[in-house]
Every structure is written in C-alpha cells, then in structure tokens.
Copies of this chain bind each other. A is one copy, B any other.
Amino acid sequence: VIRFLTSPLADRQGIQLKGVAVSHLDKPREVSVPRLTDEPLELIGDPDVDLIVELIGGESPARDLIQAALSCGKSVITANKAVISRHMRQLFDLAREYRVDLGYEASVAGAIPVIRVLQGFQGEHITRMTGILNGTCNYILSRMEEGMDFQSALSLAQEKGFAESEHELDTGGFDARDKLAIVSSLLYNSHVQPSEIPCQGITELNPVDLDFAAKHGLEEGERGYSVKSLATAKMSDRGLELSVHPALIRRDHPLASVRDETNGIYIEGELCGPQLLLGRGAGRGPTTSAVVSDILRLAKNTRRGVIDELPTLGQRIDYLDPMSVKTAGYVRMNLRHTPGSIAEASRILGNHGFNIEDSIQRRRFKTVIEGCTVIPDIVTVEALPLGTLSRGLQALQESDRILGDPFFVRFEE
C-alpha cells in the first residue's frame, strides 16, 4: 500500500502519504515513509490529513481508532472484518453523521470486488449467496482431497504462510463467519451479527470424509463430490437462513472448481440468475489491490466533495430458526468392531426418524479409540431438520458402541 501511495499514479491523483503509525518504531522496514510515529492519534488529529487507512487487524485498538478518525471528519479505509462485521451499523451511522466515507472492500474476499458488486445489485432480489470465503480452509481441503490428513495439510498451509499459528479463526469457520455477516448485512440492508450465524469448522473432517466424497454418486453416473467450507445466506418466504459449515458439493457445481487458496462467491438473483466471482482472497497483492481501489475512490470523492451513500442497515429481517432448516447429508460415526454395532446404530437413527439411503462401512479406515477397534460407518440420510439431526447425533453419542463424536456433513444442493 505504501509503495502505491508513493508512486507516480497516486501523485497524479493528488494522493500524498502524510505519515504512518506503527507499534514498533525501530522494526526494520522494506519501505521508507515521510513520518513514522507510534501515536496514531497524531495522524488522525492532523488537519492536513483527509484519509486514514487502518490495517491493524483485530477489534482493539482498530475499532477505537476508526471511530476517532470518523469523528475527526476523516474518511477511513479498512481491511478489518472483525470490526466491520460487529460494528458496521454504528460505524456507517458515524460516517454519515460526520459526512465522511468508509471503505471496507478489503474486509471480504481480498481482491474480489464483492462489496462493489453487491452494492450494484440493489434492484435485485438475491435469493442465495454461497461463498468460499476462507482461503486457508480451502487450501487445507484441497490438500486433503489429494490424500493428506488435516494436520499435515494445516502444517503445509502454515509453512506457506496462509494459516496463522493460531489457526482456529480460520479452521473453526469464524473468519468466514465475519465475512458472511458483512455480505449478508449488505444483501438485506440489516446488520447481521457474526454471533447470530451458526458456525461449524473443518477440524473434524478426516480422510474418511474426503474419500467418501470423491466416490459418492459415481455409481449413478455423477462425477463425485468435493468437500468445501461454505458460507451461505438463503432468503425465502420463511426467512433468512445463514450458516458456515463444511459440505459436499457436486464436482460440476461452479464452486467445486475453486481450489487452493482461491475464494469464490456464488450468487443467485431473480433477474440476473446465477453469478460467480472467483479470485485471490488473501495475501499481500490481493489485499493491496482492494485497499488501493478504495483509496482511489475515496480520494476522488474527497476531491469532488461527495461521499458514498452507505447502507442504513435498518431493515428488519426474520431469521429462519437454524434448527428448522432441513438438509440432506451423511452421518459419520466410529462403530466398535463387534457384532451388533451396525444394528444398534441403525436402530437409534430409525428411532429418530432418519430415513437411511446408503450405509457404508469402511474397513480401510479402521482405527483404535479408547483401546477399542472401531470402523467408521457412513450413513446417508434424506433431508431432516437440523434439530432432529442434532438429537439423533446426541443419541448416537450416548451409545457405548459408538466412540468419539458422530459427525454430520451436509450435501449442498
């Protein structure tokens, strides 16, 4: 970003870098800047400064600094999904109050201009958005599809610099959840809090799941399935359904071709039909691209004396009760390798109204849990409400023939 701000292109647009606030003044740096300080409020308070670019990450102190900047009448550009997802309504109000801009294109899906694109679809009724919004998860799942286990794939992602050493924000689905909150807030002009979105990570997926996915449907002439971590918003007469979860998608689904650290956003609108956006979701270049695009727009706005119209996010929306969402999928559980285990599992599932389609026991993935030999059993079931599914899994867990946590993975239509 600094390289851009000190480039001839920025100069031609009348953009001038006034200073940079950092935590550690004496850290060695690749670029030289006109005014390095560890007092961000110095820059925010400077009457010569029009725009503040916030690239800290995490809620604190980023949120306070963004608020301070807006309240000083400075426009702000941020890549901070934690702050935007939790406080967008209040920050948009503040920006409106002080007649300044707030650019946050870099907070979702890196270089993919998803904020710009969605804002242009205001005349559309978007019935569905499904995104692959976390590059780390997608990279790990791409490696697992090639046969790696979760831990090795995670280590490789960490080596390559995609995953943080504290990887749970990514692999637990929380990073994608923040982004989904931002995108669905824009889609339906209502502030969706990340905490309202059910969230399931990819940490429990193992080679059994990937192996099952690759082979599923082949006998029916399909091309097999991919496992993806999806962030989904669906709007129907019954309300808005939001969720982050791993799911099996058909290999011919447009999102199945989103591989490695790429992000993808699939949208369905009543007029526009299906749309797909693919691109790099993270990393130095893509994030810079999104930040620079915001800087150019806001600088131009400042010069022309106009501001963007930020959404009010004041619409009331009805959420669909997550437990009432019906979904097909499969249950994967570790059965003790003793006679009667399959019958016991089938009995429990039947009692809970699960209509079993296929049941596949995979001896190849035999393992030992709590000193007992177990074999993973995969049972595909017809669509059931998540509440019913959850009670069924609970009952399975209570059986002493089933060890470890039974796990449910959805099929995405």
**Complex contacts, A286 vs chain B, CB 8 Å:** 271-273
> With the chains together, A300 CA to B117 CA distance in Å?
17
Chain B residues closer than 8 Å to A269, beta-carbon distance: 111, 289
Which stretch (A63-71, A136-144, A277-285, A382-390) binds chain B? A277-285
- Is A55 an interface residue, CB under 8 A from the partner? no
Whether the pair A271, B292 counts as a contact (CB closer than 8 A) is yes
Looking across the interface, which residue of chain B has its beta carbon closest to that of A297? B120
- Nearest chain B CB to A207 CB, angstrom units: 24
With A117-B113, A120-B293, A300-B309 known to touch, is A276 a contact of B279 (CB < 8 Å)? yes
| B105, B111, B297, B304: the one within 8 Å of A275 (CB) | B111
Query: CB of A129 within 8 A of chain B?
Result: no
B272 touches A289 (CB 8 A): yes
A279 & B272 in contact (Cβ 8 Å cutoff): yes
Size category of the binding interface on chain A: 35 or more
A123 to B306 alpha-carbon distance, docked (Å): 20
Contact surface of A with B, Cβ cutoff 8 Å? 4, 9, 105, 110-113, 116-117, 120-124, 254, 257, 269-280, 285-286, 288-290, 292-293, 295-297, 300, 304, 306, 309
In the complex, chain B residues whose CB is within 8 Å of the CB of A112: 275
Q: How far is the CB of A281 from chain B (nearest CB, A)?
A: 10
A271 to B309: give the CA distance in the assembly, Å: 27
Q: Which residues of B contact A297 (CB under 8 A)?
A: 120
Q: Which residues of B contact A4 (CB under 8 A)?
A: 123
Q: List 20 A-B contacts (CB under 8 A).
A: A4-B123, A110-B272, A113-B116, A113-B117, A113-B120, A116-B117, A116-B120, A120-B297, A121-B289, A122-B293, A123-B293, A123-B296, A254-B257, A254-B278, A269-B289, A271-B285, A272-B279, A275-B280, A276-B277, A278-B278
Residues of the B chain whose Cβ atoms lie less than 8 Å from the Cβ of A110: 272
Question: Copies of this chain, how many?
Answer: 2
A272, A275, A277, A296 — which one has the most chain B CB atoms within 10 A of its CB? A272
Q: What residues of B have a CB within 8 angstroms of the CB of A275 in the complex?
A: 111-112, 277-280
Please indicate the chain B residues that have their CB under 8 angstroms from the CB of A290 in the complex. Answer: 272
- Nearest residue (CB) in B for A290 is B272
Enumerate chain B residues within 8 angstroms of A288, measured Cβ to Cβ: 271
Contacts of A277 in B (CB 8 A): 275-278
Q: How far apart are the CA atoms of A105 and B296 in the complex, in Å?
A: 21
| Partner among B122, B124, B296 whose Cβ is within 8 Å of the Cβ of A122 | B296
Most chain B CB atoms below 10 A, which of A123, A296, A300: A123
Closest to A124 in B: B289
Whether A289 and B123, one on each chain, are in contact in the complex, defined by CB atoms closer than 8 angstroms, is yes
> What is the bound-complex CA distance between A124 and B288, given in angstroms?
10
Q: How far is the CA of A87 from the CA of B275 in the complex (A)?
A: 29
- The residue on B at minimum CB distance from A309 is B300
Q: Which residues of B contact A293 (CB under 8 A)?
A: 120-124
Shortest distance from the beta carbon of A203 to any chain B beta carbon, whole Å: 28
Measured CA separation A116–B270 after assembly (Å)? 20
Smallest beta-carbon distance A275→chain B, Å: 4
Interchain CB contact under 8 A, A285 and B257 = no
Other A-B contacts than A116-B120, A124-B292, A271-B285, 19 sampled, CB-CB below 8 A, are A4-B123, A9-B123, A113-B120, A116-B117, A117-B117, A122-B293, A122-B296, A123-B292, A123-B293, A254-B257, A257-B257, A270-B285, A271-B288, A272-B289, A273-B285, A273-B286, A274-B280, A275-B280, A304-B309
